[in-house]
Amino acid sequence: MLQYETLIFERKDKVAFVTLNRPDVANGINFQMSEELVKVAEHCRDEAPVRAVVLSARGKFFCAGGDLREMSSYGEDRMDRVKALADNLHKSISIFCRMDAPLIVAVNGVAAGGGFSLSITGDMVIAAESASFTMAYTRAGLSPDGSSSYFLPRLIGLRRAQEMAFTNNVLSAHQARDWGLINRVVGDEDLADEAAEMAARLADGSARSHATLKKLFLRTWNNDLESQMDEEADGISKCLGSADGLEGIQAFLQKRKPNFN
């Protein structure tokens, strides 16, 4: 097991579990956590057996965003320090979004600021009924980071994204689901099991298919129709030429469950 001070990392079969572990400060993202998020993301990306990743948090908060108390202590070089912290967070998000394995985010409580941004980056997002979502940046005189200005308009539309960013309104878990911000809401006591069950289900699927899906969805916003279809044609042909594709087709024809390696 990898050892971190601000995170907990566990591997169970093909699933990696990453848990934010600063519950006494609402899992605020300090500089050390930003560095450790990069390291754990790189590990999840580079470890071939990892087929799904679950990101969750300890305590009553998912993540209240950047650790403002630490940031206030940076002194005259605070701009450079905050830029470096944001760069680390952004590198980890980029790795999680572009790695082959699907990322499932399990939101157990308040997701605010950078925690809000981190929470919506998953390929699948499950929230406990007690979870809530707010941007909160402008309340502290700040602007968004953590990719929220990229993902939020794409998930819920520009007008709703602007409303969240300018007013800092708080969405309940059910509102977040109804707006299309997250996938599903479950009972607080069921969150960990639901996330683990979904991760296990995805981990048993085709790694090649999932990796191709992630690439297609990331590129769809920048491609025109024909370019996206070219990417689809390239993707499906490579899937078919892989061991997963051959196994999937044989399993379908033989009316059995596929056994993806």
Q: Which amino acid is at 181?
A: L
Is residue 177 pLDDT above 90, yes or no? yes
pLDDT value for 1 = 63
Q: Are 126 and 104 spatial neighbours (Cβ–Cβ below 8 Å)?
A: yes
Predicted confidence (pLDDT) per residue in 40-66, tens digit: 999 999 987 899 999 999 999 999 999
With contact defined as beta carbons under 8 Å apart, do 149 and 102 qualify?
no
Q: pLDDT tens digits, residue range 21-46?
A: 999 999 999 999 999 999 999 999 99
- Give yes or no for residue 13 having a pLDDT over 70: yes
Question: Which letter, b or e, does each residue of 22-47 get, where b requires 16 or more Cβ atoms within 10 Å of its Cβ?
Answer: beebbbbbbbbbbbbbbebbebbbee
Token pair for residue 169? Answer: 């309104």
- The secondary structure of 31-88 as a DSSP string is HHHHHHHHHHHHHHHH-TT--EEEEEESSSEEE-SB-HHHHHT-GGGHHHHHHHHHHH
Tens digit of pLDDT for each residue in 70-97?
988 988 888 999 999 999 999 999 999 9
